[in-house]
Chains A and B, each alone.
Chain A
Amino acid sequence: MALYLLRRVGQSLLTVFLTVSTVFVLIRLAPGDPATAYAGPLATTEELARIRAELGLDRPLPEQFLVFLRGLATGDLGTSYSFQAPALDVVLDRLPFTITLAVAAILLTTAVAVPLGVWMARRADTTRELGANIVTVAGQSMPDFWSGVMLLTFFAVLLPVLPASGFATWGGLVLPATTIAILQIALISRLVRREMAANLTAPYLTVARSRGVSERALVWRYAMGNSAIPVLTALGTRFASMVNGVVVVEVVFAWPGVGSLVVRALETRDYPLIQATVLVTAALAILVQLLIDLAYPLFDPRVRLGKKAAA
């Protein structure tokens, strides 16, 4: 178990490191110059050269990378060009907003998608279920920027009951979380339906039913118990990808999270900020994945961590 944990953490660190290094090289290979974005269009050649020297951008790439690595080891990811503050702090300031949004969205998703999926599984292949099925397909087909703007128009402009943007009150959380949840509910409920439908027709359920187990226990304890792992995995993966910054939704609702930060950092070619964001979000996503893997034995006693599982 300890060995397994050690190996997984090692693997995770390696993935994060490779990601950050890739991004480091990628942004420097690409055309475009942060000094121009930094100094504005009116800057003279001398000014640009001075700024480049100041930011350390005139040094060769391997040297820049070494400086970056040294900073990484001490937790110093450089100063953001546009915020004039330590890049890591800028990202960490924004992170709570993104996490709040992700938690709200995943809670909403779970609360709707699991009962919906169970309902669809129990009514599998009926006309009503076909209708619900087509509705979930529609939910999965809406571009999130569009459904966001539509919700915004209805509930903030035409019928001003909820704030349109930002995060001043808890009400501001409703629209962005709903926008994200629409897609997730569609995906997760279909997964729940598939898993549950397989379990509901399994022979062990017939046996349990003939022994007089109540219908509720059959569905929620027997069948759900056996569907829990794939559903949890999917929820976890979804959550991890949300923590990465729900870029589009954050932009639509002017949410002060990591996603909208990235868009801005890319526009201004803010190298340290891009690197810090990628580092933090990748690390967080991988951490969430790891936690989910570690939680498997809680839901299925057959799972032994560290044993070669079916990959």
Chain B
Amino acid sequence: MSTPLPASGPAGTAPPPGGAGPRPSAVTTRLLARAGATRRRRGARVKLWVGLVCTLLVVVPVVFARLLPLPDPTEQDLSQRRLPPLTDGHLFGTDQLGRDLLSNVLHGGQMSLTIGVLAVLVSGVIGLVAGAAAGYYGGWVDSVVSRLLEAQLSLPLLMMLLLVVALFGPSIPVITCVIAVAQWPEVARLTRSLVLVEREKPYVAAARVLGLRRAEILVRHILPNVVRQATIVVFLLLAQAVLLESALSYLGAGPERPFATWGRIVSDGQDYITTSWWLVTLPGLVIVLLVVGVNLLGDGLRDRTRRQAASRRRGPSPSWRDRATRKGTVS
């Protein structure tokens, strides 16, 4: 789809669409937009690949932690305390109790990832149901859900999470629920706006004419059309969930058994920061690598679907198609 740009400066560099500097008259806005779309597609591809590599780099070792030839994460050896990385088969070195740091990070990661994935599933379900109901039924359902969304925005979130965890104990179900409750607004808001658009489409009217009940239309016809778009935020939610979990665990409100999670490892290593830099730096880098990867995946996917939606709208004769779809969504 790359269109050759007529004589515009050095090869391949189109003037920025923002329009800094004089623009050759032969280049129309349309051409610029198309060049932008091509570059955007490349951008999305770069993001997807980089994201995938970063994510797998963390997820694969974490998932197969038990199969890797690593020392037991709980095995203490006080004669081998705080060994720097790359000594004696300790790739990440050892911690203040002589435990292998890499092994601890990977086993702790299993907990973090489990909690993250579970939390995203739970918040996804809550968000989908609440958002779909609010968007489809409107009226009081909508006002209740919207009020809840608003209230949660203005609440001291981390404080409340800490409160709940401090009071009910840092077990995996409690932490999962707490993170899910923190995240459902995101899904709910998106689902609500998608359903609002969807319910005005002709097929919904057709289903109603066929005599289907409202709940049936929502579950069997609208939701399947919405779920795919709504699940794009899953990656972004997972990234947030991992960050939230590590923050809770840093503050001492993370799971302790069977393994301490990433935040806890960092906070334990913090006391030795002047002498043993790796105790904080390496676990932190693992978190950053994973979250960057997941975020980039989510970003790339979102860019791609947005682009697909845009190109579908453009089609062969833009003006006509444009008007048609716009009418379809507005009416």
Contact = CB atoms under 8 A, between A and B. Distances in A.
Interface residues of A, dominant DSSP: helix
Contact of A244 (B151, B156, B251, B287): B156
Contacts of B155: 19, 244, 282, 285
Interface string B236-275: 0001000100110011000000000001001100100110
Interface in A281-311: 281-282, 285-286, 289, 311
Interface string A140-155: 1111111001101100
Given A153-B273, A200-B18, A262-B162, A141 B36 contact: no
Contact of B43 (A130, A142, A219, A274): A130
B167 A125 contact: no
B250 to A, nearest CB: 4
B277 interface: yes
Contact of B250 (A18, A141, A145, A311): A145
Nearest to B296: A137
Contacts of A10: none
SS of B interface (majority): helix
Interface in B118-162: 146, 151, 153-160, 162
Contacts of B267: 145
A134 interface: yes
Given A30-B167, A153-B277, A244-B157, A137 B295 contact: yes
Given A141-B288, A215-B19, A266-B166, A149 B33 contact: no
Contacts of A206: 29
Nearest to A277: B159
A23 interface: yes
A141 B154 CA distance: 23
Interface string B13-43: 0001111100000000100010010011001
Interface in A235-249: 237, 240-241, 244-245, 247-248
Given A30-B167, A130-B43, A137 B292 contact: yes
Given A124-B36, A150-B284, A206-B29, A157 B154 contact: no
Contacts of A138: 288, 292
A248 B251 contact: yes
B33 to A, nearest CB: 7
A27 B167 contact: yes
Contact of A145 (B146, B266, B295): B266
Interface in A100-135: 121-126, 130, 133-134
A145 B163 CA distance: 19
Nearest to B29: A206
A274 B162 CA distance: 11
B181 to A, nearest CB: 12
B47 interface: yes
26 contacts: A18-B151, A23-B163, A27-B163, A31-B169, A122-B16, A124-B16, A124-B17, A134-B296, A137-B47, A137-B295, A137-B296, A141-B243, A141-B295, A143-B247, A143-B266, A143-B287, A144-B247, A153-B277, A201-B17, A201-B29, A247-B158, A247-B162, A266-B167, A274-B163, A281-B159, A282-B154
Given A138-B288, A149-B273, 7 more contacts: A19-B155, A126-B39, A134-B50, A143-B263, A149-B270, A248-B158, A278-B159
Closest 6 CB pairs of A and B: A30-B167, A122-B18, A244-B156, A146-B284, A141-B291, A125-B39
Interface of A: 15, 18-19, 23, 26-27, 29-32, 121-126, 130, 133-134, 137-138, 140-146, 149-150, 152-153, 157, 200-201, 206, 209, 215, 219, 237, 240-241, 244-245, 247-248, 251, 259, 262-263, 266-267, 274, 277-278, 281-282, 285-286, 289, 311
